[in-house]
Amino acid sequence: MSRREAGGASRPIRVLVAKPGLDGHDRGAIVIARALRDAGMEVIYTGLRQTPEQIARAAVEEDVDVVALSSLSGAHDTLFPRVVAELRRVGLDDRLIIGGGIIPAEDVPRLKEAGIAACFGPGTPTSEVVDYIRRAVGRPAKPKGL
């Protein structure tokens, strides 16, 4: 039994903040990680330069509810969908996956289609991200196959 099942609703929300690709700008990722921690969540930050495979492995090992991806290099269009695919491959197809960074508005529909639930751009208050995650994780999981 995973901690997710064992802990039930009372366990704090666990979040993996991850930097896929080669981008080294992690001010945003670090600020978000601190804000989520201050909001009572358990946060693991992967550090820079993670492959989609490494991110999926960390998500399994840390048994997280949420994977928050950050990229400011323009590689989101390739790498975010790759991370979603890897998470599905390792069986984490019911986790909330969100993105942040320099992501042009016109890319967002495609990312949503690929499984990124929401994208948060520059200037987003951290409280907005906190509220979003609480609402989304609090929601009952969709039955599989829908």
Of 33 and 116, nearer to other proteins (C-beta) is: 33
DSSP assignment, residue 57? H
What separation in angstroms does the CA of 1 have from each of 31, 58, 77, 83?
32, 18, 35, 24
CB of 136 to other proteins, least distance (A): 21
Q: Which of 46, 99, 43, 34 is nearest to 71 (CA)?
A: 99
Of 30 and 94, nearer to other proteins (C-beta) is: 30
SS3 65: coil
Give the residue ranges of DSSP H helices in 40-106: 52-62, 76-89
CB of 91 to other proteins, least distance (A): 22
CB of 1 to other proteins, least distance (A): 25
Of 127 and 144, nearer to other proteins (C-beta) is: 127
CB of 5 to other proteins, least distance (A): 25
Rounded Cα distance, 51 and 146, in Å: 28
Residues that bind other proteins (CB under 8 A): 21-27, 30-31, 33-35, 44-49, 51, 58, 73-75, 77-79, 82, 102, 104-106, 121-123, 125-127
Of 12 and 24, nearer to other proteins (C-beta) is: 24
Rounded Cα distance, 110 and 31, in Å: 26
